[in-house]
Amino acid sequence: MPSEFDLIARYFARPTPQAVLGPGDDCALLAPAPGMELAITTDMLVSGTHFLPDTDPRQLGWKTLAVNLSDLAAMGATPRWVLLAGSLPDADERWIAAFAEGLFACAKRYAVDLVGGDTTRGPLNLCVTALGEVPAGAALRRDGARVGDDLWVSGQPGLAALGLAQLQGRTQLAETLAARCVSALQKPLPRVELGRALRERKLAHAAIDVSDGLLADLGHIAERSGVDAELFAAQLPHLPAGADPLLARDCQLAGGDDYELAFATPPGKRPALAELAAELDLPLWCIGRIVGPKNELRGDVRLLDENGQSLPLTRKGFDHFGQDKP
Ligand code: ADP
Ligand code: MG
């Protein structure tokens, strides 16, 4: 049976051109460029809570890294380095090799170096810490939205939650749509280029990545910025054809695991955002606006119909679905 050190050397120690010193010593050594701030984030993925225990290890490797890079994207930071702390039930080398393959595929796509970590035996639990760089004072934060800003979201929020519903047998999607939704769930694409462009071109006052559901995450921007948000039902992203529209709408508003970006922009930026969407080949939807807080409970998110009437809604979705998310 391979030792912990054999496993690290075999599967996780790879060249780290962006680090002064990579895996193998007590610490990694990193040198951020002058004038840059470090953006640091960590996310844990626990088997049975954040992913199904039989998830393909290659896809899990990708996702473990991707969800962390999504947080860096939301700040407009450029991902540079990551650490991996893993607790693994046994030294199943086929599983570890496939996991590492997925993880390094994502690392390569987003140009990050795995510079260290920790490897122990225990219940399957994976924790990545990601570090990125952003020019001092320029990070996109949650607390910068202003009254009058437009609210935008990228891509197709809701597909990942539909993919989960499909895998759990709660819905039956047609084959091509099912494949698209399961891929959104298992292989999210962190919007690093979008976050970076929003920051470089000064297009956004505030941003967040959509990991807990669109309404909840827009609520975080509104709350932190001391404002309310209004969404226009008619401007929400088109629902995928071939899915139950009620389920698809609920997934879009309240599903999790999207890793799209939601952001607040000054209204004059619409042409620049249309241009950026074409450049990135990524749909960007102007779905609402920031308004002054209606009461002391700042951070309210309302969904309006074409007549400006509020549609029934809770933070977690339409209230005719009743229950909270699982
Ligand atoms: P220490 O006992 O000093 O904490 P470890 O024995 O835990 O060091 O780890 C040895 C080296 O291997 C360290 O440089 C650590 O960062 C690296 N390492 C451990 N696990 C991983 C992993 N999963 N991926 C990358 N590097 C790792
Ligand atoms: Mg040590």
pLDDT tens digits for range 47-105: 998 888 888 999 999 999 999 999 999 999 999 999 999 999 987 899 999 999 999 99
Residue 145 gets which letter from DSSP? -
pLDDT of residue 169: 96
pLDDT of residue 256: 87
pTM metric for this prediction: 0.93
Residue 114 Cβ < 6 Å to ligand 1: yes
CA of 116 to the centre of ligand 1 (A): 5
Q: Are strands 125-135 and 206-210 parallel, antiparallel or unpaired?
A: unpaired
- Is the Cβ–Cβ distance between 299 and 208 less than 8 Å? no
**Distance between CA 86 and CA 227 in Å, rounded?**
39
Ligand sitting nearest the alpha carbon of 23: 1
Tell me the Ramachandran region of residue 115: left when phi exceeds 0, alpha when psi lies from -120 to 50, beta otherwise: alpha
Please identify every residue whose CB atom is under 5 Å from ligand 2, which is an ion: 26
In the β-sheet with 113-121, what is the strand arrangement from edge to edge? Answer: 36-46, 125-135, 78-88, 113-121
* Helix, strand, coil percent content, the chain, rounded in steps of 5: 35, 25, 40
**Distance between CA 29 and CA 27 in Å, rounded?**
6
Mean pLDDT by 10 residues, the chain (326 residues): 86 96 97 97 92 90 97 98 94 92 98 97 95 98 98 98 95 97 96 98 98 94 97 96 94 95 96 98 98 85 93 60 40
Give which of 287, 226, 291, 295 is closest to 262, Cα–Cα.
Answer: 287
Residue 163 Cβ < 6 Å to ligand 1: no
Residue owning the nearest CA to atom 2 of ligand 1: 26
Type of residue at 92 = D
Domains of the chain: 4-135 (3.30.1330.10), 142-304 (3.90.650.10)
CA of 128 to the centre of ligand 1 (A): 13
pLDDT of residue 54: 86
**Mean pLDDT, all residues of the chain:** 93
- Name every residue whose Cβ is closer than 8 Å to that of residue 67 and which is 6 or more positions away in sequence: 43, 45, 128, 188, 190, 211, 259
Which of 93, 99, 119, 131 maximizes ligand 1 atoms within 8 Å of its Cβ, making it the mutation to test the pocket?
119
Ligand sitting nearest the alpha carbon of 25: 1
pLDDT tens digits for range 290-317: 999 887 778 999 999 999 999 987 655 5
H or E element: which one contains 44?
Answer: strand 36-46
Give which of 81, 80, 29, 74 is closest to 211, Cα–Cα.
Answer: 74
pLDDT of residue 323: 43
pLDDT of residue 319: 44
- Count of CB atoms situated within 10 Å of the CB of 13: 16
Rg, Å, the chain Cα set: 20
